[in-house]
């Protein structure tokens, strides 16, 4: 078991990539300014970096879990080219209003519920008190709160500058 470290939880759409609704291909994937730099920076600081993303487009039949995985593999390769990595991407494919039967249900993983964050903190040794989430919706912040970590609402701009501010607000300094 590795040593416990703080974790940065990132929502995907609207935080890592521009939210263009149900993004599932690299053609539709536009990196948010500073996103790669933030991930690299927290890697270098020795933090875990987790992505927690609702992907109801899978339940709704807009794209498959395999298409999402291919996109995530590409994302990871792009990050790798800059020396950055995500420790694990958690996604929730479920939604009550889906059309694909096996994904059509409520889930404790779907934000604002905290299942994905709690799983990350079970799968990895996380120093919860120092950890925080960056999301672009209230549901992200609600999930963080329910998991017992702080949440910061990102409304656009440069993610690296925003993360610096959040870190300072967490009392982590530079």
Q: Give the C-alpha separation, 105 to 94, whole Å.
A: 6
- CB 34 → Mg ion: shortest distance, Å? 16
Q: Is 97 a catalytic residue?
A: no
Asked about 11 being catalytic, the answer comes back as yes
Q: Which is nearer to Mg ion, 13 or 87 (CB)?
A: 13
Query: For residue 7, what are its two tokens?
Result: 């974790």
Report yes or no: 95 and 60 within 8 Å, Cβ to Cβ.
yes
Least Å from the CB of residue 50 to Mg ion: 15
Residues 6+ positions from 123 with CB-CB distance below 8 Å: 88
Residue nearest to Mg ion (CB): 14
E strand spans, the chain: 7-10, 48-54, 88-92, 132-135, 150-153
In whole angstroms, the minimum distance from the beta carbon of 35 to Mg ion comes to 12
Q: Are 168 and 132 in contact (CB under 8 A)?
A: no
Nearest distance, CB of residue 38 and Mg ion, angstroms: 15
Contact set with Mg ion (CB under 5 A)? 11, 13-14, 136
Closer residue to Mg ion, CB minimum distance, 5 or 72? 72
Contact between residue 140 and residue 11 where contact means Cβ atoms under 8 Å apart: yes
CB nearer Mg ion, residue 109 or residue 136:
136
Nearer to Mg ion, 29 or 130 (CB): 29
Of the residues 13, 109, 136, 140, only one is catalytic, namely 13
Which residues are identified as catalytic?
11, 13
């Amino acid at each position: 078991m590795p040593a416990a470290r703080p974790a940065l939880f990132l929502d995907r759409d609207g935080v890592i990539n521009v939210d263009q609704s149900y993004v599932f291909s690299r053609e539709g994937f536009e990196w948010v300014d500073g996103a790669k730099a933030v991930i690299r920076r927290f890697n270098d600081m020795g933090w875990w970096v987790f992505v927690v993303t609702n992907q109801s487009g899978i339940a709704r039949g807009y794209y498959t879990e395999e298409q999402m995985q291919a996109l995530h593999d590409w994302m990871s390769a792009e990050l790798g080219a800059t020396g950055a990595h995500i420790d694990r991407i958690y996604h929730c494919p479920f939604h009550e209003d889906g059309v694909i039967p096996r994904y059509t249900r409520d889930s404790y993983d779907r934000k604002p519920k905290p299942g994905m964050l709690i799983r990350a903190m079970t799968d990895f040794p996380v120093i919860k008190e120092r950890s925080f989430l960056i999301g672009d919706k209230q549901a992200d912040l609600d999930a963080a709160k329910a998991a017992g970590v702080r949440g910061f609402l990102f409304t656009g701009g440069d993610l690296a500058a925003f993360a610096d501010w959040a870190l300072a607000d967490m009392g982590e300094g530079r």
